[in-house]
Structure 1
């Protein structure tokens, strides 16, 4: 993977990978969405950065336009019974949310960390 030319994107991309936005080495999360209090590699206090409602909002914003037409198409054109199709679509939606949410939260934390760094300079 090539590194971006804009150094401002590095913290966001590191966050998307679940890594410390400062150094890219330490883990950002100690659990599924629980933040580490500080980076184990560089000591940056990333646990104080509050992403709040941004990650769930962006997850819904990304998945909504995909899942709404998909559910309509599945209900109209699926050869399987409707109840089976909708259960499968629901499982896909839950899986997509569970996959995207920690990555989006990491990206938000990287963005907020970058904004704090810009304010301090």
Structure 2
């Protein structure tokens, strides 16, 4: 018997892009793995793939790519969730606190004028910090091997000692 309580909006829409096969990744396209976690995070902040730094990390503003087209890294395992929003609010608050204090103490602006300055500035900062924060968090998860990511480190080169 059909379930009449379920609507088309209740069923999840599953659209997953198939992972690129390893055959499409050239042998000479070995990714330039970051040397440190800080370098991986900077790559994520800039919106680049933290693993190879060649491809974009996001397809839309906050939607990460499913798989890197250059190094074939699977980014569907990331679980940034609400943490980028918390980071964005934290950074915005720390930047805006001195600005608000200075505006209130140093100017004689009425409350509506202060609100007209502060609210749009806060919104703009929060939106501006969202994508870099998400990229940094995804990169950090990858670097630390969290949520099923494989922990990868660049090959250690000897100093030419031949030891």
Q: TM-score, normalised by structure 2?
A: 0.63
CA distance in structure 1 between the aligned counterparts of 2:151 and 2:57, rounded to whole angstroms: 20
Counterpart among 16, 24, 46 of residue 75 in structure 2: 46
Partner of 2:140: 111
CA distance in structure 2 between the aligned counterparts of 1:35 and 1:65, rounded to whole angstroms: 27
Larger RCO: 1 or 2 (CA < 8 Å, sep 6+):
1
Number of aligned residue pairs: 116
Instruction: Tell me by how many angstroms 1:6 deviates.
Output: 5.1
CA distance in structure 1 between the aligned counterparts of 2:123 and 2:52, rounded to whole angstroms: 32
Which has the greater radius of gyration?
2
Q: Structure 1 residue runs of 4+, over 3 Å off?
A: none
Residue pair 1:71, 1:86 contacting (<8 A) in 2 also: no
CA distance in structure 1 between the aligned counterparts of 2:42 and 2:94, rounded to whole angstroms: 24
Unaligned runs of 5+ in 1: none
CA distance in structure 2 between the aligned counterparts of 1:88 and 1:102, rounded to whole angstroms: 23
Partner of 1:33: 62
Q: TM-score, normalised by structure 1?
A: 0.82
Partner of 1:11: 40
Unaligned runs of 5+ in 2: 1-33, 153-163
Aligned-residue CA RMSD (Å):
2.2
CA distance in structure 1 between the aligned counterparts of 2:140 and 2:61, rounded to whole angstroms: 19
Q: Alignment partner of 2:53: what SS?
A: coil
Q: Alignment partner of 1:29: what SS?
A: coil
Residue pair 1:39, 1:46 contacting (<8 A) in 2 also: yes
